[in-house]
Amino acid sequence: MGIRGGGLRTARVKKVVFLWAARYNFENCMSKRLVSLPALAAFGLNAVFAVLDKWSLPEFCWSTWLAALFLSLSCAAMGAVRVFAMTVDKKVFEPRFPVLRRVSNTVFRAGVILSGILSGWIAFRIYVFIFGFYGVFLSVFAEMEPQGFFGRNGFINSDFWGPAGYLAGRYWPMMAGVLAANTGLLLRESPFKLIALPFRSGEIIRTHLMVLLMPFLCLAAWAVFKRDYQPVTIALLLAVFYLVPFRKPGRA
């Protein structure tokens, strides 16, 4: 009877989570048009995986780290690549930079391409450094197995890409979700704006917010759902990650 009662409580928790998600999606996202359909799909995909695979909160923390890292690096790489297809009129810049009148269009275009590649490389390195710091922070407050990658002395002594590759193999739905939710931005933004998009669109701020919100949501979910609080907390944090807009409506 105890086992059956526990199973019923767990099923009830999952039902409440998905009912809450459906209501939020329909009433707020669709009516106000603040969230795209790909973002809703990404939320649903990861909510299902989190429940079925029984993600723990440390696992969710690291999967969020992976998703934000993947988006940031994708912006830097995509921006640098798209510079090759960028159309820039030299005459637009000549009034502000008269020296460009002495430069041929070919040389000017080559300079733009080199600037884009250099900017993308610098941004790539900056994002790796920032998420390296986040990784050290998580290895202290969200330890998980294997300790060699995600323990207190694991991540800081790793090569960064080892833990990232391990996470990519296990939590690829977060990578797929964040890519689907931001595909429009990756394709619409101009190359140089795209390189700095994680800062401009608040993705780095979002990562900070996830870390700050977690203790409070854990406490609130535990007070209501007791030992079944982790799935509820993860669902709420997934909603913050995918459904809370950081850009004003109508802006790319």
DSSP 103-142: S-HHHHHHHHHHHHHHHHHHHHHHHHHHHHHHHHHHHHHS
Buried b (16+ CB within 10 A) or exposed e, 169-182: eebebbbbbbbbbb
- The answer to the question of residue 233 being in a domain is yes
Q: How far is CA 62 from the centre of its chain?
A: 11
Q: Residue 72 CB: number of other CB atoms within 10 A? A: 24
- The answer to the question of residue 140 being in a domain is yes
- The answer to the question of residue 236 being in a domain is yes
**CA of 31: how far to CAs of 16, 44, 141, 233, in Å?**
22, 18, 38, 25
Nearest-angstrom CA–CA distance, 138 and 145: 13
Output DSSP code: residue 29. Answer: I
- The answer to the question of residue 2 being in a domain is no
Nearest-angstrom CA–CA distance, 69 and 204: 9
Q: How many residues appear in the chain?
A: 252
Nearest-angstrom CA–CA distance, 137 and 182: 26
Only one residue has tokens 């002594």, namely 157
pLDDT for res 137: 84
| Domains held by the chain: number | 1
Evaluated on CA atoms 72, 171, 59, 215, the torsion sign reads: positive
Q: Contact, 63 vs 171, CB < 8 A?
A: yes
- The answer to the question of residue 67 being in a domain is yes
- The answer to the question of residue 7 being in a domain is no
Contacts 24+ apart (CB under 8 A), 217-225: 218/57, 225/13
pLDDT tens, N- to C-terminus, the chain (252 residues):
444 455 555 555 555 554 454 444 444 444 444 567 888 888 888 888 888 888 888 888 898 889 889 988 999 998 888 887 776 666 666 676 677 777 777 777 788 788 888 989 999 999 999 889 888 888 888 888 999 999 888 899 989 999 999 999 999 999 998 888 888 878 888 888 888 888 776 656 666 676 666 667 667 777 777 777 777 778 888 887 887 765 543 443
- The answer to the question of residue 8 being in a domain is no
Domain, as residue range, for 98 = 37-243
pLDDT for res 167: 95
| 218, two tokens | 């854990």
Instruction: Kindly report the pTM of this predicted structure.
Output: 0.75
- The answer to the question of residue 125 being in a domain is yes
Nearest-angstrom CA–CA distance, 236 and 218: 10
**CA of 252: how far to CAs of 30, 33, 115, 177, 190, in Å?**
18, 13, 23, 18, 10
Q: Residue 165 CB: number of other CB atoms within 10 A? A: 12
